[in-house]
Structures are given as C-alpha cells and as structure tokens.
C-alpha cells in the first residue's frame, strides 16, 4: 500500500516536485491543471478534474438548467421594468 505522506522541498521560484508515485496514482501528467487551496496553515493541491467531477456529482440531481433559469429571470425582470406584458 502506498503512503499518503511524502516529504517534498520548495525549490527555485517556489517550485515543488510531486513524487512520481503520487502523480501516477492521481493521474497527474505534465500540463495537468492543479488548484492550490489554502486550508489553515496548509497548501492542498487538487487536480482540477477532481474538483469538476466532485461538483458534477454534487449537482447531478439538480433539475433544469441554471443558465436557462437565470435567462428567464432576467427577461421577466426586463419586462417588469419596461412595464410591458410579454
């Protein structure tokens, strides 16, 4: 079993090398986008794809389109402001 803890050092220009076994485990390749989160006194690097997948799962049961709902609200507001009926 792989350890979830690895020691890394900060190099020139603040660069940190993520150990190869962690990169393989998480599917991180050259060019992968990571999101740096500050949690208290810690920096947490999370693959952007993992965040997107998590958000999709959280909102999977939400019906309708938030974009369409916003457009409908804006159109209704514009009609009210113009004093129109349509």
The pLDDT tens digits of the residues spanning 4-57 come to: 788 999 999 999 999 999 999 989 999 999 999 999 999 999 998 888 888 888
Q: Provide the pLDDT for residue 85.
A: 63
Whether 37 is in a domain gets the answer yes
Report the predicted TM-score, pTM, of the whole model to 2 decimal places. Answer: 0.56
Whether 27 is in a domain gets the answer yes
Whether 29 is in a domain gets the answer yes
What residue numbers bound the domain in which 59 lies? 14-82
Q: How many Cα atoms occupy the beta-carbon half-sphere of 15 within 13 Å?
A: 5
Q: Provide the pLDDT for residue 75.
A: 94
Cα dist. 67→22, 51, 58, 70, 71 in Å? 37, 20, 17, 5, 6
The number of domains in the chain is 1
Q: Provide the pLDDT for residue 86.
A: 54
Whether 3 is in a domain gets the answer no
Whether 31 is in a domain gets the answer yes
Whether 6 is in a domain gets the answer no
Q: Provide the pLDDT for residue 52.
A: 84
Whether 55 is in a domain gets the answer yes
């Amino acid at each position: 079993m792989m350890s979830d803890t690895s020691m890394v050092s900060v190099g020139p220009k603040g660069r940190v090398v993520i150990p190869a076994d962690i990169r393989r485990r998480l599917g991180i390749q050259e060019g992968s986008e990571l999101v740096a989160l500050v949690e208290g006194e810690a920096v947490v690097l999370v693959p952007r794809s993992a965040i997107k997948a998590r958000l999709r799962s959280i909102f999977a049961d939400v019906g309708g389109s938030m974009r369409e709902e916003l457009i409908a609200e804006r159109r209704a507001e514009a009609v009210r402001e113009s004093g129109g009926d349509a």
